[in-house]
Amino acid sequence: MDNISYNFFLQTGRVLNSLESSTILMTGNVHDYFYALKLKKYVPIIEFLKSSMSLNTNIIVTYKITGGIQFQNKNDAKLFSNAWEYWRYGKENAEEFQGLCRTAAGNITYSLELLKQMCICSMAVDENNNPILEKKLLIIIEGAESIIPATPVNQISDSDRVRLQICLDWFKDPDFVESKDAVILIAESKGLISPVISRLPHLGEIPIPAPNEEQRKHFIDWYNENQVKSYKVKLRGKKNELAQLTAGLSILALRRLLKNASHSRGELKSEDVMSEVKSFIERELGDIVEFKIPSHNLSDVIGCTKIKEYVKKKVVPRFKSIGKDSLPGAAICGPIGSGKTFFWEAVAAESGMIVLVLGKLRDKWFGESDVRLERLKRILYAFVNVLIFIDEADAQFSSLSAGEQHATEKRLQAGILSMMSDTKLRGKVKWLLLTARIDRLSHDMLRPGRPGSLVIPMFDPEENDRNEFLRWAIEPVLEKKLDQATINKISKLTEGYFAAMFSELRSELLAESKGKKLRQEEIETVIKDIVQPAVSRTRKYQTLCAKIYCNRRSLLPKDEKKEDWEAELLKLS
């Protein structure tokens, strides 16, 4: 089996070999499996690092709370033990150091201090000024978030305070910083470890991304090579199709999918793949993300003739594109009840993209905001073409300068804004913001290069579109054919109706009919009984905002001027 390269490992090698940093923090996809060429199998991150960094010039030491301090092999353990005894007593005797390691088991504070002293020992010289240890000491600490957690300094316990100070003294020690030795900390997120450590200027952070298409394909090939014939996964379509469909999955999640297919000894279907991707993303990001598969398309949309034509010609092709002509996003505005959500879910279905709906950002991201933001970013990097759908965007985001914003919320919004303009995500991720109050969105979000690249207004139906809504609402229950005279009469009764009102009318009529047809007089009675909601002033304000913020002339009324809209808006303010 051919080897697969990992950029994060190559970057780690460059940092260590150049002595750029003696302390490295690995974050991101740290709980996944990676292919170790020497072992010819997929293993956890710590085993991958041990195998890949195993050189004659290195002594690799690992530490985790449940496993204590461990050397990669007995020879290295004996070599270091002798160096320790020589450093302490001027003679070689491995027994004392081994006793210290046994004492450290289960004691985090003791273990950290011992690891720190091991680095001091590694840097020591004999009476002839020669190093007592020729090899480089590499210490890998797994689960750093449990050892030096991101608890505010004024709230940490005494034991955590001691551990934090040990690490701070260790990583800031000038001799250690200039030495050939190194410490690799492993944590899912930088935000999970103490900021006292994570903000050290010489700390090198190396993110581990979700597996890309090439890496997923490698695992699929490796998996099938290691199965007996009857358990090999039968792949439908092209050989690379499964690797493409599983974008966003970790290797462990992909393994679960393949294991399930092997167990059933059947063909792996695209529906099974999408179900696993959906499940994985929702597990990773919690209930702030919904993996949506729209059940309707533009042919199901009533009215909206002008906007449908524009979207089919100008928007859908640019959503589908992953090249330089792709659209970074769009902001959809218009009054409440104008059908924004239904229409743009149909557009998402028309484009054939994966749709992730972001919601509950304010409620759910406090406390875990940094971690979930990093998870979201990591997953998005793995996708080829995905649409981020944010409904009620004005409720999710506000101006970054807003005084009432919590610091965590500001950091969250700044992170989202950064992703919106990230050149690595350009063409791969499209952002779709829906709002009735576009004036409440941050101007940073509405600039070109972000969703502000295209601001599309959604207005109430007029003329033929309005007649289409009337037909849609009335024809299913009307006992006779709907003629123009009837349309004209009912049109007057429904003056001021908008998309949501027509939907409500259709529902009322279906409930009234109870499966039977209604006379025109009965329909008129139902219409007269409905009192329109007292939102006309609010909707007028929102319509004016949509007109003012729209940045495509072809989508605006031809005989109206922006100055008039602004003047009218001031009167309503």
pLDDT in tens, 162-212: 999 999 999 999 999 999 999 999 999 998 999 999 999 999 999 999 999
Inter-residue contact 135 to 61 (CB < 8 Å): no
Q: Is 366 a residue whose pLDDT tops 50?
A: no
Most confident of the ranges 96-100, 188-192, 271-275, 373-377: 188-192
Q: How far apart (Å, rounded) are the C-alpha atoms in residues 133 and 339? A: 72
Inter-residue contact 32 to 45 (CB < 8 Å): yes
pLDDT in tens, 383-414: 888 999 999 888 877 654 455 556 666 777 88
Q: Residue 302 contacts by C-beta under 8 Å, 6 or more apart in sequence?
A: 468, 469, 472, 499, 502
pLDDT in tens, 37-51: 999 999 999 999 999
Q: What confidence category does residue 306 fall into, taking pLDDT thresholds of 50, 70 and 90?
A: very high
pLDDT in tens, 233-248: 877 666 678 888 888 8
Inter-residue contact 543 to 459 (CB < 8 Å): yes
pLDDT attached to residue 401: 47
3-class SS at 135? coil
Q: What confidence category does residue 95 fall into, taking pLDDT thresholds of 50, 70 and 90?
A: low
pLDDT in tens, 144-154: 999 999 887 77
Q: How far, CA to CA in Å, does 563 sit from each of 108, 369, 548, 560, 570? A: 68, 42, 9, 9, 11
Q: Which of 484, 473, 477 is nearest to 521 (CA)?
A: 477
**Other residues' Cβ atoms within 10 Å of the Cβ of residue 510:** 14
pLDDT in tens, 417-469: 889 988 888 888 999 999 999 999 888 889 898 999 999 999 999 999 999 99
Arithmetic mean of pLDDT, 550-565: 88
Element containing residue 44 per DSSP (H, E): strand 41-44
Arithmetic mean of pLDDT, 92-98: 69
Q: How far apart (Å, rounded) are the C-alpha atoms in residues 301 and 341? A: 11
pLDDT attached to residue 204: 94
> In whole numbers, what is the pLDDT of the chain averaged over residues?
88
Inter-residue contact 138 to 60 (CB < 8 Å): yes
Q: Which of 175, 145, 141, 138 is nearest to 160 (CA)?
A: 145
Arithmetic mean of pLDDT, 29-34: 96
Q: Is 52 a residue whose pLDDT tops 50?
A: yes
**Any idea what the Cα angle at residue 135 is, between residues 134 and 140, rounded to 5°?**
150
**What tokens does 258 get?**
């393949």
pLDDT attached to residue 403: 54
**Other residues' Cβ atoms within 10 Å of the Cβ of residue 359:** 17
**What tokens does 88 get?**
């302490």
pLDDT attached to residue 369: 66
Q: How far apart (Å, rounded) are the C-alpha atoms in residues 482 and 514? A: 20
pLDDT in tens, 6-25: 999 999 999 999 999 999 99
Question: Residue by residue, what is the 3-state secondary structure of 229-248?
Answer: HHHCCEECCCCCHHHHHCCC
Q: Above pLDDT 70, what percent of the chain?
A: 94
Q: Is 93 a residue whose pLDDT tops 70?
A: no
Domains and CATH numbers, the chain: 7-208 (3.40.50), 211-267 (no CATH), 291-457 (3.40.50.300), 463-529 (1.10.8)
More confident residue, 83 or 362: 83
Element containing residue 326 per DSSP (H, E): none
More confident residue, 126 or 369: 126
